[in-house]
Amino acid sequence: MKTILVTGGAGFIGSAVIRHLIEQSDHTVVNLDKLTYAGNLESLNGVDHNPRYNFEQEDICNPLGLQRVFRVHQPDIVMHLAAESHVDRSIDGPAAFIQTNIVGTYTLLEAARKYWEKLPQDKQAQFRFHHISTDEVYGDLGGSPGLFTEESPYAPSSPYSASKASSDHLVRAWFRTYGLPTVVTNCSNNYGPYQFPEKLIPLIILNALEGKPLPIYGKGDQIRDWLYVEDHARALCLVAAEGRVGETYNIGGHAEKQNLEVVQCICELLEELAPNKPEGIKHYRDLITFVRDRPGHDRRYAIDASKIQAELGWAPAETFETGLRKTVEWYLENQTWCERVQDGSYRRERLGVGA
């Protein structure tokens, strides 16, 4: 039994990690989250009353707050997921990405290092700092048939991916310079339950159900490797427990799809699962709308996940087809969660503001 500190645990991937840890292990979990717009504690309903679950509302940029959390909870593992992560938002306002993803990671690394240096030798040897990153740091594969490996050079294209690349470099520097036992993972596009509806798949599902346009950038020919979030959570917990110190592991879903193809698949599933369409809509696919492409849009990402499979025995349990069906079914069955996110009531109530 260990104590695991998860930063960003009220976010999409972080909440999946915490649900997995509480439901599938005996570990104690400390959820550290600032609760920005994308942090939703309702994503942890069902595990948040477990005696092994603890919540700390704290900013990773606050060194004194971090020192207190480390002192009080004495974590054995840090899983660092707290980040600004939406590319469009990074283009409109990059400052928050620099602050959270770079300065925040530095502040957390320093808090972890100072805590780790005072641990007994046996505890030092067992401690891990697991930094969770993205395949977007590698840039654009373009029309190349290749895959991103752990040795691929960094070539980030957006303020978001540049800030994540910076944080990756900081983590590796703290390992090399100070000996802090770190491990890094870079994942492909996640999808699944509890994803904030600014992202492609939940946006398309919810827009379709309301009869709104289904926006697709450019021609919709951008290719992404899609990873079901619960498969990702399982991989992250495995790396945190068994990954080799100083190593990087790429995590992918083996599911390359063009964005247009993803939207068309969602439309087909909704025809089956939600046949009662909004008034005036004959087919969901008729709502597809092509919009101007965003600046610097990468053409293709694809992950070579052979290292984590060979070393740790991980492989995705879900295909894109099974994972997408589960995702669409979840959004259809959890309309209250969706409505509270869309109308902002999940935040207003948390802040003590009347809905």
Beta-bridge partner residues of 134:
187
Listed residue (87, 67, 64, 92) closest to 5, CA to CA: 67
Listed residue (21, 15, 49) closest to 33, CA to CA: 15
The DSSP bridge pattern shows strands 256-258 and 223-228 to be antiparallel
DSSP 8-state secondary structure symbol assigned to residue 274? -
CB neighbour list of residue 294: distance below 8 Å, 6 or more residues apart: 87, 88, 91, 217
Beta-bridge partner residues of 128:
77
Unique residue bearing structure tokens 């068309």: 264
Active-site entry in 76, 84, 136, 318: 136
Burial of 125 (0-12, 13-18, 19+ CB in 10 A): exposed
Residue 303 has phi, psi (to 5 degrees) of -105, 135
Active site residue 160: yes
Cα 342 to Cα 196, 197, 232, 335, 338: the distances in Å are 9, 8, 25, 10, 6
Q: At what angle do helices 159-178 and 104-117 cross, to 10 degrees?
A: 20
Active-site entry in 138, 160, 194, 284: 160
Active-site entry in 48, 84, 135, 231: 135
Catalytic residues: 135-136, 160
